[in-house]
Structure 1
């Protein structure tokens, strides 16, 4: 943006609508492909549960599909998509340098923030659409939506290993509402952090590889030397994508060693964790967006 364009900057609403349109066009092929895969998967699940011909081919055995947003595979898949999504949002754009993208009559930081926000809106729409499709698929196929879980809650690890009465307690619960919301908050945090890397560095792939290797080395070191704070940090990341290691540990019980619950996660835990990761991502995006673009 030059001084001659300051007086004729377009309205915020016009820029916002244009960013939504541009991002929608940028992701249309990938979104269409993902939608096709999900639709075929949905038809396959319904077919193996409801269509007599397909059931007959399976020797009369019908499947009983189960969908719970708290399962690790769904959290991992959602976060993976969110981490890769900024690459699609900024596809074909030069994030740095003297290019037409940064010569438009919009302040660079505003342009970046609106593009990131537009990408987030589309990402939330995709996650929501996938959840709706999965829910409808389970309902039509007669499967189970949500799961009932149960397990031992260790109140006293020492007493549990000795078989002391009251050292463990059996707890059970059904999939709470916040596990549905966690898919959206986890995707939001992952998208913001990935956007920070993409907008703040010229070679984000090298930074991503470096961070992954660093995390793997830290995990190995923590496991070998039993460094508590590193393990808890990695468990904190693991729980954000659906893992349970933050609230469980290997405990010696009379029958041997087993992973048991030490805490039961709650909505407050989810809110605190989501607030931390999303705030971290937003702070990163704000800092990355202030970097000069046409240099």
Structure 2
């Protein structure tokens, strides 16, 4: 488990992270979503005890990042922006070196290394020097290093940056698998599609502050509004006008052969709405959800904060 309380970091007069609070339980992914310079990487560095908070504290599996740095580091797997790969080593030697640093014996780490290299598509190039790896290959190897010791907590800073689509898909699938194994995961990204796919909660961070922390669905609901459905029909009865007795359903717009509804509880109310429309003589040919993107919600949060600051 990860818990941050009033976590703050100053660099001289610059406030990089400003009194942030969050909690990540086992089996959850918290995405820190924000632009470059928002405070994501500084937060990860504090969570690994690499840098000391100016104020506040955070705990990893109950260990304080201030008072118990050694225990914190034993319990985390970290993928940072700068990988620190040793260019003259090959993948086998590199991972074996770190496995020994983690205190793993040869009989434990050898099969683990082979399994991770196979999982991330690196086994065939295991004897190549790391200096010959592409940026995407290096990223996958750094992620394999973070997973060597089966850590209960993972801190991943831009895990799919510079990867081709197939490699990025492989890494996202690995993250979903790790979540299912009850790891607590903090993932930093500015990739909105990745955030929406992986996150149990999204914390939007901007200028060092967490502006909003909610599930993707809650975030879209609060910032963009209720789920909307578009109903398309071929024809309607003469002088037909829509009326409804359904609670939580509201007609928001009407064009030629289309109706748009705001629906409070889509699984329950959408079938009832369609039955009602057909019962009123409408020839319905399509009903689909109107896309409410995470991008809309994100931009709305940032825009509201910018207006407040000005």
TM over 0.5: same fold? Answer: no
Tell me which protein shows more strand as a share of its residues: 2
**Bucket of the pairwise TM-score, normalised by the shorter protein:** under 0.3
**Given the two structures, how large is their TM-score scaled by the length of structure 1?**
0.25
Flag the structure with more relative contact order, 1 or 2, with Cα contacts below 8 A and sequence separation at least 6: 1
Tell me which protein shows more helix as a share of its residues: 1
